[in-house]
Structure 1
Amino acid sequence: MSVLIPFLTLLLVGGACAYHRTRLSTWAIASAGALVLVALLGASLVATIIAGVLLALVAVPLMIGDFRRQQITAPLLKIYLRMLPKLSDTEKTALEAGTVGFEGELFSGMPKWEDLLAQPRPMLSAEEQAFLDNECEELCRMINDWEITHDHADLPPEVWQYLKEKKFFGMIIPKDFGGLGFSALAHHKVIQKLASISATLSSTVGVPNSLGPAELLLHYGTAEQKEHYLPRLADGREIPCFALTGPFAGSDATSLPDYGIVTTGKWNGAEVVGVKLTFDKRYITLAPVATVIGLAFRLHDPEGLLGGEADRGITLALVPRDTPGLDIGRRHVPLNCMFHNGPVRGEEVFLPLSQLIGGEDYIGEGWRMLVECLSVGRAITLPSTASGGSKAGAVVTGAYSRIRKQFGLSIGRFEGVEEALARIAGNAYSVSALSQATAAAVDRGEKPAVPSAIAKYHATEMGRQVASDAMDVHGGKGVILGPRNYLGRSWQAAPISITVEGANIMTRSLMIFGQGAIRCHPWVLKEMEAAQHPDPQVRLHEFDRNLFGHIGFAISNAFRSLWFGLTGARFGRAPGDAYTRRYYRKLNRYSANLALVADTSMLLLGGKLKFKEKLSGRLGDVLSHLYIISAMLKRYEDDGRPVGERPLLAWATLDGVHKIELALSGALRNFPIRPVGWVLWMLVFPWGRRAQAPSDRLGHRAAAMLMSPSDARDKLAEGVFLTPCANNPAGRINSYLPRVIHAEPIERKFLKALKAGEVSGMDHDAQLDDAVAKGVLSAEEKAALVDLREMTLDAISVDDFDHAQLQSAAMADCSRITKAA
């Protein structure tokens, strides 16, 4: 046994140093000291000497800088350059766009939680809160979503006017240009509230405040463009849209067939140098009502009027609606979500160079401009829309489940319904935290490229799951359309958010991990940049530093993965309280797992990894759920660790952890190099996959929170439109919950007497009268049951129509002509 002790000592000391990521010199000194100590304590001297020689053979060459660089790093650099995947200019632009926030820590294998918890709590200003409480509230009261989607296919004129007067289209425009100058958090809160009453309304307001002319002008516009357009966009004199998507290129700006030719032409009576544009765009939101169209195209200068190359690259322009040759087509119908959407076409439409966004200085910079602005738009509009729908759907479905009864029992008490309610509650909690986190990142000055992709994909997918579960719980109430149906249009609209601004399938399989693996990794991008440095001496030094930092990083994550796997992540330094500390430790484990598997994948697969979309999708899922759980923990801390929210936090966290292990399991079981997959499995899952989905008991607690008033339920409902008014049946049903609960004991007493034969009568009213006459109920109790009956009827009633009301206008005209004949 004494023969093995020196070698075990090296392994243990090396593992401890790797776990804590000490310097190379610290590891060498600690290992040498440990060998001396075990020799003094009686370990085999021969074995100790052999172990010392092995230590020296590894440590000494690595610690002599010049020797290491010339004899080890230089050959590895040559191999690396051959392996390095070639990136196109567009891929480089996408990777360089945006900034890295806490998601980088999640990719490190050793997150600095203090950095996350030190971020300021997101807070609205008094002005922003007043806007939500007043202008937003009033706007929501004006909305009748059934009339918008079924009768008018548009917002009413008075709503359009209100949006313009109150500057809803100018939330992101600074006050200096006549806008509201709101924070990203306020922008998120406004969209969230509007989405809870009407997807058409939230889309109409969201688009001008996300990717569009205003956003682009703020970042890249010339002084003249800003002075002219921003005040007009802020007060609604101009309605913007942005035309990117085309029939053959989709939203891939790098493959645009739309083009512009530099030439001369007439503009406002003068002969100027400009561009003749030919384009065909579709799916352009607000195009049918837009007065100024942002346009992406590829610019060509065949006559060299601007100097330089003929192909000048992707460029952006502003096209006024009255420009000759511009054709704004008829409307698309996006699944009965009646925001304006349609095609935009043009053939040889002439514009002066002054209409190019940013002027001549930004010719060819369109792809970079789009990528940077897309990340901000994706971080707010779509996640906020999903959050508004999910939060409203959660609390109203909870109330409906308490009110609606089958077999004398609230349907929410049935375990099948309870299972759906738990998913609704957990997903709504997750989406709310995630959408707030990405908005807060924008307010901190970040351009969250990777988090915005995470938020766009997972918020919309969880929103779709909430809509699906809510429809299942409501049954017939959900499938019969009409003014009383507050779910049907949301259910129909769910695939729209899934599709726009990058289809979710592509977002998951290509963008999240594709960008995250390089952008968030602490060493990969640095290695790539170092390997391509023009100065050979600097290249070798920088590559050496980053390469061995990367090697140490990989070794550390291997040891950390194994340690956390063996111990179940029960030990280790972690923040939080006694309740949440276990969650932080779990995230430490999965962060190390992600870093280990990602490193191995990039090393062995190289450029082929971007074609392994199932693998990158699964690793993207791991990063995503790490980010989502971190967002929930941050909000829990910001809110003062509310005890009442713990069932929701626990359900959503355990659901995320379960999905992380499923994703890692899928990645390792299907790893392209099978023996490597087996080794990784032993490091990641030494005892096998252990995480389980949330228990039924926890699901019961989460579901119960939706069906009973509480501070946690109020917090979940915060920021959505639940005012009980004629145009908001969801708000009315939610408002009934306290009165329904108050009436339940009376109802049980009444039903018990009815079953025992103590009360008689042919209908409900007669039975109540008899119960009062016989002293079973008091007059006040009868009034409570009458009120309960009315509330239940309002909750379960659906609409019916005359056949003529459902006919299209063309069919109705045809019917009238036939009858007249």
Structure 2
Amino acid sequence: MTWLLIIALVVGLLALAWFRSPSWLAALLAIAALVGTIWQAASWPVITLYAVTAVALTVVAIRPLRRALVSDRLFGWFKSVMPSISDTEREALDAGTVWWDAELFSGRPRWKKLFGIDKPALSAEEQAFLDGEVEELCAMLDEWQINKDLKDLPPEAWQYIREKRFLSMIIPKEYGGLGFSSQGNGAVVTKIATRSLSAAVSVMVPNSLGPGELLMHFGTDEQKNHYLPRLARGEDIPCFALTSPLAGSDAASMPDEGIVCKGTYKGEEVLGLRVSWDKRYITLAPVATVLGLAFKAKDPDGLLGDQKNLGITCALIPTETPGVEIGDRHLPGGSIFLNGPTRGKDVFIPLDWVIGGRERVGQGWRMLMHCLAAGRAISLPAQSVANGKLTSLTTGAYARVRYQFKQPIGYFEGIEEPLARIAGETYRMEAAHKLTLSALDHGEKPVVLSAILKAYLTEANRRVLNDAMDVHGGKAVVEGPNNYLSIPWQSIPVAITVEGANILTRSMIVFGQGAIRCHPYLLKEMMSATDDDPKAFDSALFGHMGFVISNFVRAPLLGLTGGRLSRAPVSGPTAGLYRKVNRLSAAFTLVADLCLLILGGKFKFKEKLSGRLADALAHLYMASTVLRRFEDDGRPEEDLPLVQWAVADSLHQVENALFTVLQNFPLSGLGGPLRVLLFPWGRRHRPVDDRTTHRIARLTMEASPSRERLIAGAYQSRADDGTGLLAQAFEAVLKAAPAEMAVRNALKVVPTPVNVDEVTAKAVSAGVISEEQAADLKRAQELTAKVIAVDEFTPEEIGGQQAMQPPVAKAS
């Protein structure tokens, strides 16, 4: 009986921790259990154990008591070890919101919250714009001509972009803009980017972090009424200058400054700033008519008050202002777009040119963080999704059209692997992108998830393009108008570098910021110390203690059962995948919390640990979005291989990240026991099997519904250009496949561009195929020959030394 009562106490405490019961309920149950043991005349050891438990839980449940005995005694120590938070750090932490990332950090994600966001969808107006204006713009664009000849978009394309208001998708209709949703904005950029990255960048920048968005959120009525209609009509071309040579990713350390002073404007003496700056990497700066500028404002003479250093400030400056320098260009690698430096020396601007006016002087960093919380999720991830669609569209088709060793190269197992990776990565990228955009349109500003999308989708962009280049081989190596992969592949470093290098985003922002923002108690504890609020500290501290105890119960039990003790929000073939996410969420939360508790303020300098935990959080999020996408698409059975690949790969990445953290745990003696506790069966999450890889590869080489969903939203050319010829050849080869098989079986020969006339003549004569089928075979081989050909140029076209001194044939 003694042991049964002890076991009952342990099971009861575990159950309370599992369900995260409130402390008052735990205390009441403990007191009731104590009374019961006394009533039943249990042994004194049992009564003592129950009494100690009841007293401890009662102390925790009664706030004045626990403050007097515990939290108030710890508060002074906590403030002394708590690292200081700079103003810029606090503003970054205050920016945006948390959403599903906070659920994953809870160790007990509530799937209702993920499904509480509307299904990704475009409005009828947005869809019509995609089918009309965007389609027409894409037809105007020739990426080879843009990058090799013009070094810019053709004039007619620029005129069309301005007339059709591509530069004002985010500007509300009352100011003359299109007023598109985040979903619509992302879809437009995605489609354009499948045709021309140069055009996509030119369109996306004014619709991302820049003057338009800053004006909408923070501009004065006068500024909005003046600039927004002009920006909407394309009369003004905006750029935004943030990056300095000495302050790249660390934008807060920019040396550019503006001194508050009096000066002359339009013949009158007004209060303003004399600004000096040196900025680089500024998209559209060479042609901008209005320059958004970030600088540090200083007031040495106290013209605005007692504060000398006012902080980062954002202003709008017409580029015709005396002293403003624009026009020079950088040449970004790969896809060329208008990008260049801007400088100014002692340029006087009225105070009214500060975005938001005088009241917003010094609030620039907060304004930028607010806008970046959303902007990071839209444009650069859209480019990554676009390249996923482009590589899925072209590589599957090329692998079916291109023959080696008498069969399509896609039928070789070595090619199946990259084909499956391209399709799986694309499916996952689009799932994460579209659902995050739905969250933005729902009113969320998920700053951590935006950083995840920027870093992890641009890295996936790198992988899909590398795989596509490998499959295409020499076709993708030789540059020319018909090479549709070379320019996107060369452009990868630009996307990875913009808005903070991915190394920084992964190791410092995703988890460094995510841990504080997404943790249910950590930020509250930090703010209680900063605000000297012992009452808030008490609530956060004991909430945190209960959180850790609960995860110490949940994570091992879920690890032991493979997540089967948790609930899935759906039934069917994906239910087990939800439970696996639940299981790894609990493990991630416990490991992350212990790292934070052990390292404290030193954690911000442990970038290797932070980066690995960022990997875990990012892939938990992406796996969740894949599962949600499958439901949104109506659970098409033929898409299951893509779902299985994407989720299996993400869970594999999560497990690897956690194992690596435990191998390098801050307390080396604790990493091993934790690994046994959380992963009692060892590594359980592996990439999908070869059968699934085979099924994915085949669906990319067939005219399947899965393939159509994968490439939906991409521009599909029907012209005689690189992608257009490939599309025609793909359709022709599929149409001719039955005839080809009949010829192979009957004549034991494979039709090729070289022998197709002879082979089809024999096949028709022998009654193997009809004249119509012979025509299909000939057309398929004719188009195949055009597709596998590579571009060639005369010496004069190449230019350089060879063009000046062409080779002379030697006499034999």
Counterpart of 1:778 in structure 2 is 770
> Quick check: 1:254 aligned with 2:248?
no
**Aligned Cα root-mean-square deviation (Å):** 2.3
Instruction: Determine the structure 1 residue equivalent to 2:302.
Output: 304
1:523-578, CA deviations, whole angstroms, 9 ceiling, x for partnerless residues? 111222233445xxxx3333222211111111111111000111111232220221
Deviation at 1:687, TM superposition (A): 2.2
Q: 326-335 or 145-154: which moved more?
A: 326-335
What is the distance in 2 between the residues matched to 1:689 and 1:177? 56
Higher deviation after alignment, 763-772 or 445-454: 763-772
Moved more, 705-714 or 762-771: 762-771
1:604 to 579, 593, 598: 598
Deviation track 1:404-427 (CA, whole Å, cap 9, x = no partner) reads 111111111111110001110110
Residue 805 in structure 1 maps to residue 797 in structure 2:
yes
> In the TM superposition, what is the alpha-carbon distance from 1:31 to its structure 2 partner?
5.2
- 2:227 is aligned with 1:229: yes
1:701-747 CA distances to partner (integer Å, 9 max, x unpaired)? 122211112222111111110132234x2244235434322322321
**1:729-770 CA distances to partner (integer Å, 9 max, x unpaired)?**
22442354343223223213323444379x999943223223
Alpha-carbon deviation of 1:795? 2.1
2:143 equivalent in structure 1: 145
Does the CA contact (< 8 Å) of 1:721 and 1:731 recur in 2? Answer: no
Contact 1:668 1:681 in 2 (8 A): yes
* Alpha-carbon distance in structure 1 between the residues aligned to 2:435 and 2:95: 19
Partner in structure 1 of residue 166 of structure 2: 168
Contact persistence 1:392–1:722 (CA under 8 A): no
Cα distance in 2, alignment partners of residues 724 and 704 from structure 1: 23
Write the mapping of 1:199-598 to structure 2, written as runs, cut at 5 A. 199-534=197-532, 539-598=533-592
The corresponding residue for 1:737 is: 730
- Pairs aligned (count): 806
Q: What does residue 819 of structure 1 align with? A: none
- Contact in 2 for aligned 1:761/1:770 (Cα 8 Å): no
- Give the conservation status (yes or no) of the 8 Å contact 1:754–1:760: no
Question: Aligned partners of 2:293 and 2:416: how far apart in 1?
Answer: 49
Paired with 1:479 and 1:66, the residues of 2 have a C-alpha distance of: 72
Which shifted more, 102-111 or 647-656?
102-111
SS at match of 1:234: helix
Task: Indicate the SS of the match to 2:234.
Answer: coil
What is the identity, as a one-letter code, of the residue corresponding to 1:205? V
CA contact (8 A) 1:140 1:194 kept: yes
Pairing 1:82-93 to 2, within 5 Å after superposition: 82-93=80-91
SS of the aligned residue for 1:250 comes to coil
Contact kept? 1:562, 1:684, Cα under 8 Å: yes
Q: CA deviation at 1:284?
A: 0.7
Aligned position for 2:687: 693
Q: 1:767 to 1:580 in 2, by over 3 A?
A: closer
- SS of equivalent residue, structure 2 residue 348: strand
SS at match of 2:269: strand
* Per-residue Cα deviation, 1:599-657 (whole angstroms, up to 9, x for no partner): 11111101100000010111111111111111122222222222221111111000000
Cα pair 1:519 1:525 within 8 Å, conserved: yes
> Match for 2:177 among 149, 160, 179?
179
Show CA shifts across 1:504-539 (max 9, x none). Answer: 0000000000111111111111222233445xxxx3
Please point out which of 705, 712, 720 is paired with 1:726: 720
SS in 1 for 2:682: coil
Q: Distance in 2 between matches of 1:60 and 1:304?
A: 56
Deviation at 1:225, TM superposition (A): 1.1
Q: Distance in 2 between matches of 1:683 and 1:24?
A: 26
CA distance in 1, matches of 2:383, 2:109: 30
Check whether the contact 1:6–1:35 (CA below 8 A) recurs between aligned residues: no
Structure 2 residue 786 is matched with structure 1 residue 794? yes
1:673–1:127: structure 2 CA closer, same or farther, 3 Å change rule?
same
Deviation at 1:447, TM superposition (A): 1.7
User: Would you say 1:16 and 2:15 are equivalent positions?
Assistant: yes
- Paired with 2:746 and 2:683, the residues of 1 have a C-alpha distance of 54
Matches of 2:486 and 2:436, distance apart in 1 = 28
Contact in 2 for aligned 1:13/1:30 (Cα 8 Å): no
Q: Return the letter of the residue paired with 1:769.
A: A
CA contact (8 A) 2:334 2:491 kept: yes
Does the 8 Å CA contact 1:220/1:358 hold for their aligned counterparts?
yes
- Structure 1 731/655 Cα, relative in aligned 2: closer, same or farther at 3 Å? farther
Contact 1:284 1:342 in 2 (8 A): yes
Q: 1:702 aligns with which of 696, 707, 712?
A: 696
Rounded to whole Å, the distance in 1 between the matches of 2:134 and 2:186 is 12
Q: 1-side partners of 2:136 and 2:80: how far apart? A: 63
Shift in Å, 1:82: 2.1
> Match for 1:733: what amino acid?
L
Q: Distance in 2 between matches of 1:39 and 1:712?
A: 66
CA distance in 2, matches of 1:633, 1:731: 33
How many percent of aligned residue pairs carry the same amino acid? 49
**Cα distance in 2 for residues equivalent to 1:341 and 1:144:** 19
> Do the aligned partners of residues 813 and 169 (structure 1) sit closer, same or farther apart at CA in structure 2, a change above 3 Å counting?
farther
Which digits, 9 at most, give the CA deviation of each residue in 1:349-406, with x for residues without a partner?
1211111111111100111111111122111000111111111211221111111111
Structure 2 gaps of 5+ residues are 807-812
| Distance in 2 (alpha carbons) for counterparts of 1:595 and 1:478 | 44
Query: How far is 1:106 from its partner?
Result: 1.0
The answer for the alignment partner of 2:49 in structure 1 is 51
Residue 673 of structure 1 corresponds to which residue in structure 2? 667
Alpha-carbon contact 1:9-1:35 (below 8 Å) kept: no
Query: In 1, distance between residues paired with 2:666 and 2:727?
Result: 51
**Residues 151 and 336 of structure 2 are in contact (CA less than 8 Å); yes or no, is this contact kept in structure 1?**
yes
Q: Give me the whole-angstrom Cα distance separating, in 2, the residues matched to 1:38 and 1:710.
A: 67
TM-score (ref. length: structure 2): 0.95
2:178 is paired with a residue whose SS is: coil
Distance 1:516 1:549 in 2: 19
Residue of structure 2 equivalent to 1:746: 739
Contact persistence 1:709–1:737 (CA under 8 A):
no
Q: Distance in 2 between matches of 1:519 and 1:768?
A: 68
Structure-2 separation of matches of 1:753 and 1:64: 88
Distance in 1 of aligned mates of 2:753 and 2:398: 28
Report what 2:613 is aligned to: 619
Q: Distance in 1 between matches of 2:475 and 2:802?
A: 28
Looking at structure 1, the residues matched to 786 and 49 of structure 2 have their Cα atoms a distance apart, in angstroms, of 81
**2:261 partner SS:** strand
Deviates more, 1:458-467 or 1:48-57: 48-57
Distance 2:509 2:228 in 1: 32
Amino acid at match of 2:799: Q
Q: Is 2:649 the counterpart of 1:649? A: no
Cα drift, residue 24 of structure 1:
2.3
Secondary structure (helix, strand or coil) at the match of 1:347 reads strand
Distance in 2 of aligned mates of 1:357 and 1:674: 51
CA shift digits 1:305-345 (9 cap, x unpaired)? 22322221111111211111111142111113111111111
CA separation of 1:708/1:216 partners in 2, compared to 1, >3 Å: closer, same or farther? same
SS in 1 for 2:376: helix
In structure 1, the gaps of 5 or more residues are: 817-821
**Partner Cα separation in structure 2 for residue 554 and residue 267 of structure 1:** 61
Cα distance, 1:47 vs. partner? 4.4
- CA deviations over 1:196-230 (Å, ceiling 9, x no partner): 11110100000000011111111111111111111
Judged with a 3 Å threshold, the aligned counterparts in structure 2 of structure 1 residues 33 and 263 are, in CA distance, closer, same or farther, namely: closer
Q: What SS is found at the alignment partner of 2:377?
A: helix
